[in-house]
Amino acid sequence: MSMQGTENGPAGTTGSWGDQGDGTYRNPILNADYPDVDVEQVGGTYYMISSKQHMSPGMVILESRDMVNWRALGHVWPRLCWDRKYDWDRMDGYKFGVWAGDLAYHDGRWYCYQIDTTTGLYMSSAEDIRGPWTEPHRMLEKSGWTDPGVAWDDEAGEAYMVCNFGRGEGGNEIRLFRMSRDGRDLLDGGAVIHRGLGAEAAKIYRIEGRWYIFLAQWYRPDPHRPDHPEADTGDRKQLVLRSASNSLYGPFEHRVVLQRGNGVIRSCSQGALLQAPNGSWWYMHQLIQNVPTPFQGRPQMLEPVAWVDGWPVIGKDVDGDGIGEPVLHFRKPVDGFPVCAPATDDDFDGDVLAPQWEWNHNPRDSHWSLMERPGWLRLRAGVPVGEGGFWKACNTLSQRMMGTGKGTAVARFDLDGMAPGQCAGLVRFGGVFHLLGVRVGEDGSKRLFFSANGEPAMGPAVPVDALWLRTGNVGNRADFSYSFDGRHFEPFGSAFALAFGMWTGDRIGFFCWNDRREAGHLDVDWFRYDYDGPKGSPA
């Protein structure tokens, strides 16, 4: 890795993906679990939202000046407050919560929309992207919908929303609704403007007086399937509908504009169209989970866009069939901004949690604090809901795994406040969980333990209150180790495989619960995470 700085900010660390520090980038530019993004440009700044299901706070917001280097600003929803199943005393919202959304800026106000498939369509708005955002307003009480996208037609004085209306004859229906100008209400039952296999994630754009709708759609079997043993037989390609008139209701022509290829075997679709200050066009999209081991989740790719006869070609047409494939290494859209990435390290010196952290379901606020012991994160132990163990233990705090190469995360803990019946420590989880921590016996003795998605394997006694826990991975193979002095680490527990599950890639964080009583706490001094991608934040 190397350090690259510019006059616009301090140096950041380059790595195997993202900004290369030489005016180019390598895809993915955001190699972590940031799925279902939408990006809105205001002036020379780009703002991204990304879903994360049952994690709280919900709908992370990121900011970039060059489309390549991103930093987290915060979240739209401090809590998932529209349904009790996301609360700490139920924790029944796995796979649900915040799904793909839409971010819009109109007449000096920000709008964010998303559909919880179990309860309905919600929106919030704000004057400042950093908030405060209004309480979620339910626009429609209906399940089964996904992927809202909005647009205002100021010339006609109209506003619109598109949604995937679920499966029907001929595939999913993409419906277009008239929306109130204040962005709060749907005014009709929607008109079907497209049907297709798995059609979803529609976004509306108006370019040079013509309406375009970008959406993702499955093609099975895929006529462009890569010759690779892990390639799925189907492919979700990026499709564009182009209005043949000046009406959003069509009629539409359509064309496939992006597909996997050029060494990429995961499907490439669902994202946002962007424009650089120099007038060039770009497209941000995710890699979906149609490979056997998408353990880091759904990362973000950035592609150049060329316009040919009024149609976008996304990426590079490698095989000459008129459809773009992803680029692997390309020049940056905008020069002059420093290497950075969403923050990972934390000294817990502030009075609010840094935006990289998210709770597994809504937190129990009485059971965590940054102020009881300034400079430390305190997690108080509660009894899990029912017999669920880790999956039902409140106040698990985590952040996204970064990259798919090498990574090492280390945290320092103070065990002095732990009580009999309590277990706490470091966790990696996605589709499965693995724990390395300390369990306190009824006599107050402390022992190390490792759990691989089930019963713990007990380890040595822990004779001190200061404990360092570390997890490392090479690809999807990970392990744990511990230290009593912060210098010499000993492995404990077997190596294990990281796994995608419940729409979530691998996450790293802290757990703390008590099997028997409301007693004990864990103090976290700091967390450090090094990986094979860009690090650093501009001033």
Residues annotated as part of the active site = 36, 200
Which residues, other chains included, contact 157 with Cβ-Cβ below 8 Å and sequence gap of 6+? Answer: 181
Structure tokens at 282: 């770009």
* Separation CA 259–CA 267 (nearest Å): 7
Structure tokens at 249: 């209701």
* Separation CA 91–CA 94 (nearest Å): 7
Phi and psi (nearest 5°) for 343? -60, 150
* Separation CA 49–CA 398 (nearest Å): 18
Contact 193, 241 (CB under 8 A): yes
Three-class secondary structure of residue 283 per DSSP: strand
* Separation CA 506–CA 388 (nearest Å): 20
Structure tokens at 265: 């075997």
Contact 492, 448 (CB under 8 A): yes
| Cα maximum dimension of the chain | 78
* Separation CA 26–CA 533 (nearest Å): 10
Question: Of 128, 123, 117, which is closest to residue 74 (Cα–Cα)?
Answer: 128
* Separation CA 295–CA 430 (nearest Å): 8
DSSP labels, 374-401: TTSEEEE-BPPSTT-GGGG-S--EEEE-
Residue corresponding to tokens 């705090």:
397
* Separation CA 376–CA 525 (nearest Å): 5
Contact 531, 13 (CB under 8 A): no
* Separation CA 437–CA 92 (nearest Å): 25
Three-class secondary structure of residue 84 per DSSP: helix
* Separation CA 170–CA 494 (nearest Å): 49
Which residues, other chains included, contact 229 with Cβ-Cβ below 8 Å and sequence gap of 6+? Answer: none
Angle among Cα 344, 349, 354 to the nearest 5 degrees reads 40
* Separation CA 199–CA 174 (nearest Å): 7
DSSP labels, 350-383: SSS--TT-EEESS--GGGEESTTTTTSEEEE-BP
- Other Cβ atoms less than 10 A from the Cβ of 463: the count is 8
